[in-house]
């Protein structure tokens, strides 16, 4: 199937089903470079990035994906300038407040993953509201990784296992991959089949380290604000051409 604007929604839905594509993870990179390239303020790049994400969530639901997980804010992003971090917090609030009802009506189930304790109380409360309001929805599982780090997630799982061993609830040699999986933020989801990174960088950036062990990687030079539905279709079509061997 060629990647053209004439590819229909039904064709893409059929493709997703035929290759058993269930979960897509995305590193949304390039907002700042997009703004710099267009001689615009950095903050405007982040706003345009939110617009691109809004369209993609709706489309992902329409083509039948079970889950979509996006990297919105890493544990390292706190090192950015105070103005930029403050704007990102404000943008999170505005975007979530503005989109929550529409996503709920569209049967999307929203969850934030990461150490949310570091965020302002107003934002944490809205995140919890989004989770609670959509908890019984049966459509796509939309996960936003915020103040997320893959190493931190694994270390946190190890701590919980260590506490269980200390309490005499299990022995070290009884630990299996399933025990670790059950303690991850994504415990009730299939691992990502496809990891997309925009912006042309070839690194995983501490994102879903455990979960992406066998994910297919797709890197595009396209900066995130320019990542259209057609660009997303190209990634899905490339995935369909891959032969997945899971290390065998």
Catalytic residues: 29, 77
Q: Which of 185, 179, 181 shows the shortest CA–CA distance to 171?
A: 179
Q: Taking the CB of residue 184, how many other CB atoms lie within 10 A of it? A: 19
C-alpha distance from residue 42 to each of 46, 144, 182 (Å):
7, 21, 39
Q: What is the Cα–Cα distance from 4 to 207, expressed in whole angstroms?
A: 30
Reading the block at residue 78, the tokens are 């706190």
Q: How far apart are the first and last CA of the chain?
A: 28
Using DSSP, state whether 124 is helix, strand or coil.
Answer: helix
C-alpha distance from residue 189 to each of 24, 25, 100, 194, 242 (Å):
11, 12, 22, 14, 22
CB-count exposure of residue 199 (10 Å: 0-12, 13-18, 19+): buried
């Amino acid at each position: 199937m060629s990647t053209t604007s004439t590819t229909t929604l039904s064709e893409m839905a059929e493709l997703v089903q035929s290759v058993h594509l269930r979960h897509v993870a995305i590193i949304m990179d390039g907002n700042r470079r997009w703004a710099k390239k267009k001689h615009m303020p950095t903050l405007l790049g982040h706003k345009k990035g939110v617009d691109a994400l809004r369209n993609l969530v709706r489309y992902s639901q329409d083509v039948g994906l079970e889950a979509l997980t996006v990297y919105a804010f890493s544990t390292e992003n706190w090192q950015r300038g105070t103005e930029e971090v403050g704007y990102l917090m404000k943008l999170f609030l505005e975007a979530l407040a503005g989109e929550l009802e529409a996503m709920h009506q569209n049967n999307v189930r929203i969850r934030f993953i990461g150490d949310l304790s570091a965020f302002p109380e107003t934002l944490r409360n809205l995140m919890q509201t989004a989770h609670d309001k959509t908890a019984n929805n049966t459509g796509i599982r939309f996960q936003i990784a915020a103040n997320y780090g893959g190493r931190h997630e694994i270390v946190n799982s190890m701590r919980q296992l260590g506490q269980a061993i200390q309490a005499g609830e299990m022995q070290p040699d009884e630990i299996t991959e399933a025990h670790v999986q059950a303690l991850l933020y994504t415990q009730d989801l299939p691992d990502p089949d496809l990891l997309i990174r925009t912006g042309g960088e070839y690194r995983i950036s501490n994102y879903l380290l455990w979960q992406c062990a066998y994910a297919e990687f797709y890197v595009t030079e396209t900066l995130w604000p320019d990542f259209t539905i057609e660009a997303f279709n190209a990634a899905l079509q490339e995935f369909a051409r891959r032969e997945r061997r899971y290390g065998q």
